């Protein structure tokens, strides 16, 4: 397995989304590479971002698209939908320039979430076509929902698009009480048929659907049974990417490197 660190766990609003922090943090983090979390603010200096990242020569095989894309599509106005596609094209460009191979997309999101899901469902085809033009593998994450639930939405997507690929996020699943579904025979087609091909790792500390505690936590700071998850990975001989998404900022916006490295050590034990 390749263990990645989401840059969203070390670069965020707490430190002004300064992507230049990646240079020093990357020297201390004991991961195999990074999943780049894109932010809307970076589009204004996208050429500088690309130049900087290429200069670092880091292993960044995955780009996580700007999270507002799904919200734009779900809102449903022509202007918002076009904005979502423009964000996505920019993310594709960054991914291609830095030699990433995979894109993670929130196909729905924001307050609108999955309330207009037919918009999101129908727009997937165009997202897939755009990603293919950049030779990128598009993967859809099991984002939290406020109408249905992620597993229901995945099943709808797979029914319409049989070759679709997914990213399973442990925190998102736990928020809906759906971690256990991953291990059930009813849903084994998701990994047996190659739909789930990547896992995001974050802990969750509360009861299902507690919106006030949706934050993704480092391993061990919540109540997810990661021992069972580790057994599952071993039983299916999983050999893909695991991305740690737990945030670790202190009040000054500094990342807790020791805590993140402890999480990487746990993941290597899996």
Distances (CA, A) of 122 to 18, 160, 232: 35, 9, 33
Secondary structure (DSSP) of 173-204: HHHTT-GGGGGSGGGTHHHHTT-EEEEEE-B-
CA distance 262 to 247: 13
3-state class (DSSP) for residue 5: strand
Distance CA 224, CA 206 (A): 10
Which secondary structure element, helix H or strand E, spans residue 56, and what is its range?
A: helix 46-56
**What DSSP state is assigned to residue 270?**
-
What domains can be seen in the chain, in order of their start residue?
Answer: 2-269 (3.20.20.150)
List phi, psi (to 5°) of 196.
Answer: -80, 120
State the pTM of this model: 0.97
Helix, strand, coil percent values for the chain (each to nearest 5): 50, 15, 35
Mean pLDDT by 10 residues, the chain (270 residues): 96 93 97 98 97 98 98 95 98 98 97 96 98 98 97 98 98 97 97 97 95 92 97 97 89 90 96
Q: Which of 14, 11, 143 is nearest to 71 (CA)?
A: 143
Nearest CA to 200 out of 180, 177, 229 is that of 229
Which pLDDT value is given to residue 253? Answer: 85
């Amino acid at each position: 397995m390749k263990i990645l660190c989401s840059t969203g766990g070390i670069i965020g609003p707490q430190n002004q989304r300064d992507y230049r922090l990646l240079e020093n943090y990357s020297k201390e983090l004991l991961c195999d590479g990074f999943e780049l979390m894109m932010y809307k603010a970076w589009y204004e200096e996208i050429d500088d971002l690309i130049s900087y990242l290429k200069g670092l020569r880091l292993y960044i095989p995955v780009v996580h698209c700007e999270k507002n894309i799904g919200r734009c599509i779900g809102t449903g106005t022509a202007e918002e939908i076009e904005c979502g596609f423009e964000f996505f094209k920019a993310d594709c460009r960054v991914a291609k320039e830095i030699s990433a191979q995979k894109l993670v997309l929130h196909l729905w999101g924001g307050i609108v979430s999955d309330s207009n899901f037919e918009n999101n469902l129908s727009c997937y085809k165009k997202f897939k076509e755009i990603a293919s033009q950049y030779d990128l593998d598009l993967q859809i994450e099991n984002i939290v929902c406020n109408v249905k639930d992620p597993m229901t939405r995945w099943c709808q997507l797979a029914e319409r698009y049989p070759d679709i690929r997914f990213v399973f996020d442990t925190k998102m699943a736990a928020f809906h009480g759906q971690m256990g579904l991953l291990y059930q025979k009813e849903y084994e087609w998701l990994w047996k048929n190659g739909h789930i091909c990547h896992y995001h790792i974050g802990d969750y500390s509360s009861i299902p659907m507690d919106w006030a505690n949706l934050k993704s936590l480092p391993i061990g700071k919540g109540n997810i049974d990661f021992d069972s998850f580790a057994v599952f990975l071993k039983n299916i001989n999983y050999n893909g990417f695991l991305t740690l998404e737990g945030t670790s900022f202190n009040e000054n916006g500094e990342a807790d490197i020791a805590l993140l490295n402890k999480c990487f050590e746990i993941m290597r034990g899996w």
